[in-house]
Amino acid sequence: MRKINEIFYSLQGEGAHAGHPSVFVRFSGCNKRCPFCDTRHEEGTLMTDDDIIRAVKLYQADWVILTGGEPSLWIDSEFVRLLKKATGKKVAIETNGTNPRPPAIDRVTVAPQVGKHTPPTEANNEAKATEAKANHAGEAQAAEAKANHAGEAQAAELKVAHADELKVVDVGQDLEPYFALPCVDETTKMYLQPCYVPDEAQALANRNATVRRVLADPRWTLSVQLHRFLQIP
């Protein structure tokens, strides 16, 4: 049995396949606690592989996207093999990369959590400014070193050998460490995504900041969560 939050049909909103009709299998739960996580994935129902396959086969799309939460907590090689054989569809996974991917998955998008992550909101910007004023230079450097060490530790958590796409939510962090990740090579498409927040003015500021960063470093491509702009589920 595998714990499923929802199975639904929609357009892929992010990355190279944006706009492509796909069946989404959202698994329940995640082993990370990212402060900017905007996915409701905790609720779930235990389903058999037959139940899952039956639900996926209701839709004609040629891609199934395993997402979450963190799908790698729930899947194995046998499940992927069965899903492909029974539905005739290609299988993609969206993962934080902390578990090895089962073989036979056709496309891997890794969204790693590397480095210091603070959602860019007005309140956080003020908090950072206050913190900077309060810190002596030595303390600030020590804090930065600690943050970099945390980033290295998180990078070491990555168990996926190769990412077809790397998706990074822009929270103002140093972007250079992403290019040194072991799952990134010259074929990996690097996507930078504005951090979504409900406040429209802040969301616009975040989008503009991310556009500026992509223009300044063309190794990145902007990913915009198409489904939010189109207001589709």
First and final C-alpha spacing in the chain: 26
Token digits of residue 59: 């839709």
For tokens 């996580």, what's the residue? 37
Q: Facing residues of 4 across strands?
A: 27, 45
Give me the 101-130 binding string for ligand SF4, x by CB under 6 A, dash otherwise: ----------x-x-----------------
Residue 33 Cβ vs ligand SF4, minimum distance, rounded to whole Å: 6
Q: Report the C-alpha gap between 186 and 22 in whole angstroms.
A: 27
For tokens 């804090």, what's the residue? 143
Residue 68 Cβ vs ligand SF4, minimum distance, rounded to whole Å: 5
Give the residue with the Cβ less far from ligand SF4, 98 or 188.
Answer: 98
108: how many CB neighbours lie within 10 A of its CB? Answer: 20
Q: Is 228 in the site for ligand SF4 (CB under 6 A)?
A: no
Stretch that binds ligand SF4, among 66-74, 158-166, 180-188, 209-217 (CB under 6 A): 66-74
- The one among 69, 119, 151, 194 contacting ligand SF4 by CB under 6 A: 69
What sign does the dihedral 122-197-97-211 (CA atoms) show?
A: negative
Q: Is 25 helix (H, G, I), strand (E, B) or coil?
A: strand
Q: Is 39 in the site for ligand SF4 (CB under 6 A)?
A: yes
Give the residue with the Cβ less far from ligand SF4, 30 or 75.
Answer: 30
Q: Is 30 in the site for ligand SF4 (CB under 6 A)?
A: yes
- The one among 16, 18, 37, 224 contacting ligand SF4 by CB under 6 A: 37
- HSE toward the beta carbon, residue 217, CA cutoff 13 A: 12
- The one among 16, 34, 53, 205 contacting ligand SF4 by CB under 6 A: 34
Stretch that binds ligand SF4, among 33-41, 115-123, 125-133, 212-220 (CB under 6 A): 33-41
Q: Is 96 in the site for ligand SF4 (CB under 6 A)?
A: yes
Q: Is 13 in the site for ligand SF4 (CB under 6 A)?
A: no
Helices (H), the chain: 49-56, 77-87, 122-134, 137-156, 176-179, 200-216, 226-230
Q: Is 32 in the site for ligand SF4 (CB under 6 A)?
A: yes
Q: Is 128 helix (H, G, I), strand (E, B) or coil?
A: helix
| Interior angle at CA 55, CA 51 and CA 57, nearest 5 | 115
Q: Are 40 and 59 in contact (CB under 8 A)?
A: no
Residue 215 Cβ vs ligand SF4, minimum distance, rounded to whole Å: 25
Chain contacts with ligand SF4 (rule: CB under 6 A): 30, 32-34, 37, 39, 68-70, 96, 111, 113
